[in-house]
Amino acid sequence: MQTTLYNQAGEQIGSLELSEYIFGVTPNVPVMHQYVVMQHANARLGTHNTRGRGEVRGATRKLYRQKGTGRARQGSLRAPHRKGGGVAHGPHPRSYRLQMPKKMRRLAVRSALSAKYAAAQIRFVDALSFEQPRTKDAVAFLQAHGLAGKTLIVVDSKSPQNLVVQRSANNLPHVKTILASYLNVRDLLQYDNIVLPQAAIAVIEGILGENADAAAREEE
C-alpha cells in the first residue's frame, strides 16, 4: 500500500509503503465494540458503596405494637422505605474488569486504524519535532496540515524530543499525545484526525504486524 508522506511544514515529500495487514483490513465492528466496552469497564473504579439496614444508625426495637393502631405495621426504624433507613439492593465495592484475548485486541486496533485510513483521517509525516515547548508551534503544525477538530498525535517513545511535542500540545483542549505502544480503539475512534510520524509507524508495525502475530502463534 502506498500513501502520501508529508513533512512538518505540510509539504508532500514523497510516498510511504504501508502494511496492508495493519491499514488495509476490513474493519471488524463487533470486535472493536467489545474492545471499547472492555476499556470503559476497566476504567471504572468500583468503589461505590451503600449501607444496608444492618449498617445504618437507629434502634432495633419495634416502633409500635402490631395491631390496634390503625397504622401500617412497622418492624424497624432502619427499613429501606423510611427516611434515614438502609438502601435495599444497593451497590457495593466490586471489580468491573473485563478481558479480551491478545489476538482480538490486536485485530480491534488494526480494524480501527484501517477504518481511519479508509476515511482519509490519518496524516503521515516524516518526523515531528519542536525546538522548545510552545503551543504556538503546535498550532502552526495543525494549521499547516489543515487538521481541524480533535487530533491525536502518536509518538514512538518518551524521548526528550517527543516530550517537547507533548508539552507543546498540552494546552490545546482538542489535541492529545499518545505513545504508539498505548494505541487503543477508543482514542482512535473518538479523534477526527490521527498524526503518525514514521518512527511511530515502525513501533506500530512491530506490535501489530504479521511478524508479531507469527511470533505469538509460535509461543502458543
CA geometry: angle at 175 spanning 173 and 201, to 5°?
165
- Count of C-beta atoms within a 10 Å radius of residue 201: 22
The residue extents of the domains of the chain are 2-32+100-219
Give 218's pLDDT tier (boundaries 50, 70, 90): low
Res 125: pLDDT: 95
Distance CA 108, CA 113 (A): 9
- Residue closest to 110 by CA, chosen among 36, 183, 16: 183
Burial environment of residue 35 by CB neighbours within 10 A (0 to 12, 13 to 18, 19 or more): buried
pTM score, whole prediction: 0.84
Percent of the chain with pLDDT over 70: 96
Are 126 and 13 in contact by the 8 Å Cβ rule? The answer is yes
Residues with Cβ within 8 Å of residue 156, at least 6 apart in sequence:
162, 179, 180, 197, 199, 200, 202, 203
Res 73: pLDDT: 95
The pLDDT of residue 54 is above 60? yes
Res 101: pLDDT: 93
CATH code for the part of the protein at 2-32+100-219: 3.40.1370.10
Residues with Cβ within 8 Å of residue 57, at least 6 apart in sequence:
78, 84
Give 215's pLDDT tier (boundaries 50, 70, 90): low
pLDDT in tens, 116-128: 999 999 999 999 9
